[in-house]
């Protein structure tokens, strides 16, 4: 079942602690975080700068090793997971970062196609068609052959969104994906993610400071000093 696991949660975090540094400098950044994320939902992570949002997001998305506690992503335990397990899981998820991490020497189309090439799915012509389709959905139909240096900040961010979504991920992790976007394209991105949740059961966990997005969220989790201080369903 896509995006749904035996436990019924897309992501299930329990008793997670995380530390940075070593020896005298070792500091605890995340304190006993537990969160169950329902499949198909849009969850927003909020909180002041340094409260641990990016750390929690990257731990849930297997971009960092889990040190203490349990993190189950799509039913698989990440604490102690093998390299092969992590590689396989990463193919089922999408990431959108504030720093969009596009390859400067590749066009918009080629950047989006890369996400399909790592999966080895389809031939080049099919990958190009899928990339063009997704770039059209984010409003970049007339920019498909542009290099990142010739795109605005918001346009680059939309390429990053297209790249994250083109492979139909089961879970999307997004770290301030609308920060570089004007109001209208920011809401387009969020509405796309919501529609994916409805249509395909895609689960989204998004860090944002953007108040306009809160209305669209199913759930709002607030972190402070590495702890969950509030967890509200937005009904
Ligand atoms: N690589 C690292 N080494 C040491 N400390 C780190 C590292 N990454 C994060 N931290 C610390 O962990 C805490 C949480 O950082 P994190 O990046 O998760 O915060 P954040 O909520 O995403 O903040 P922002 O809104 O500014 O992006 C901060 O105190 C930060 O200084
Ligand atoms: Mg951050």
CATH code assigned at 189: 3.40.50.300
Judge if 83 and 188 occupy the same domain.
yes
The predicted pLDDT at position 4 comes to 53
- In degrees, to the nearest 5, what angle opens at C-alpha 52 toward C-alphas 51 and 54? 130
The domain tally of the chain equals 2
Judge if 157 and 178 occupy the same domain.
no
Q: Which residue has the tokens 């949002």?
A: 53
The predicted pLDDT at position 1 comes to 46
Domain assignment present for 213? yes
Ion ligand 2: protein residues whose beta carbon lies under 5 Å: 54
Q: Is the Cβ atom of 221 under 6 angstroms away from ligand 1?
A: no
| pLDDT tens, per residue, the chain with 235 residues | 444 555 689 999 999 999 999 999 999 999 999 999 999 999 999 999 999 999 999 999 999 999 999 999 999 999 999 999 999 999 999 998 876 789 999 999 999 999 999 877 789 999 999 999 999 988 899 999 999 999 988 889 889 989 999 999 999 999 988 877 778 878 888 888 888 888 888 999 999 988 888 888 999 999 999 999 999 998 7
- pTM greater than 0.75: yes
Judge if 80 and 21 occupy the same domain.
yes
Chain centre to alpha carbon of residue 113: 18
Domain assignment present for 29? yes
The residue out of 132, 161, 190 marking a domain boundary is: 161
Judge if 157 and 181 occupy the same domain.
no
Q: Is the Cβ atom of 49 under 6 angstroms away from ligand 1?
A: yes
Judge if 77 and 110 occupy the same domain.
no
Closest protein CA for atom 5 of ligand 1: 20
The predicted pLDDT at position 86 comes to 95
Which residues, in sequence order, are bridge partners of residue 233? 219
CA–CA dist 151, 112 (Å, integer): 15
The predicted pLDDT at position 200 comes to 84
Judge if 185 and 82 occupy the same domain.
yes
**In contact, 219 and 232? CB cutoff 8 Å:** yes
The residue out of 161, 187, 203 marking a domain boundary is: 161
Domain assignment present for 97? no
Domain that holds residue 140: 102-161
Domain assignment present for 176? yes
**In contact, 44 and 220? CB cutoff 8 Å:** yes
Q: Is the Cβ atom of 19 under 6 angstroms away from ligand 1?
A: no
CA–CA dist 18, 39 (Å, integer): 25
- C-alpha of residue 55 to centroid of ligand 1, in Å: 6
Chain centre to alpha carbon of residue 68: 22
- In degrees, to the nearest 5, what angle opens at C-alpha 155 toward C-alphas 101 and 201? 75
CA–CA dist 174, 78 (Å, integer): 19
CA–CA dist 211, 208 (Å, integer): 8
The token duo for 77 is: 């335990």
Judge if 20 and 106 occupy the same domain.
no
The predicted pLDDT at position 229 comes to 98
- C-alpha of residue 183 to centroid of ligand 2, in Å: 21
Domain assignment present for 112? yes
What is the longest distance spanned by two Cα atoms in the chain? 55
Closest protein CA for atom 12 of ligand 1: 29
């Amino acid at each position: 079942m896509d995006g749904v696991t035996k436990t019924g949660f897309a992501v299930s975090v329990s008793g997670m602690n995380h530390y940075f540094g070593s020896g005298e400098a070792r500091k605890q950044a995340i304190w006993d975080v537990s969160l169950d994320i329902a499949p198909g939902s849009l969850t927003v992570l909020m909180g002041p700068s340094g409260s641990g949002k990016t750390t929690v997001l990257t731990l849930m998305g297997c971009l960092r090793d889990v040190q203490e506690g349990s993190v189950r992503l799509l039913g698989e335990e990440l604490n102690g997971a093998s390299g092969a397990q992590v590689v396989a899981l990463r193919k089922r998820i999408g990431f959108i970062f504030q720093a969009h991490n596009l390859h400067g020497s590749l066009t918009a189309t080629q950047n989006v196609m890369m996400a399909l090439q790592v999966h080895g799915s389809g031939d080049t012509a099919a990958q190009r068609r899928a990339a063009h389709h997704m770039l059209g959905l984010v409003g970049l139909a007339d920019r498909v052959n542009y290099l990142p240096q010739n795109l605005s900040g918001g346009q680059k961010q939309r390429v990053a969104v297209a790249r994250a979504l083109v492979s139909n991920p089961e879970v999307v992790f997004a770290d301030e994906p609308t920060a570089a976007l004007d109001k209208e394209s920011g809401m387009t991105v969020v509405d796309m993610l919501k529609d994916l949740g409805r249509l395909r059961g895609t689960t989204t966990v998004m860090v944002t400071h953007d108040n306009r997005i809160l209305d669209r969220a199913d759930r709002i989790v607030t972190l402070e000093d590495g702890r969950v201080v509030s967890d509200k369903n937005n009904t």
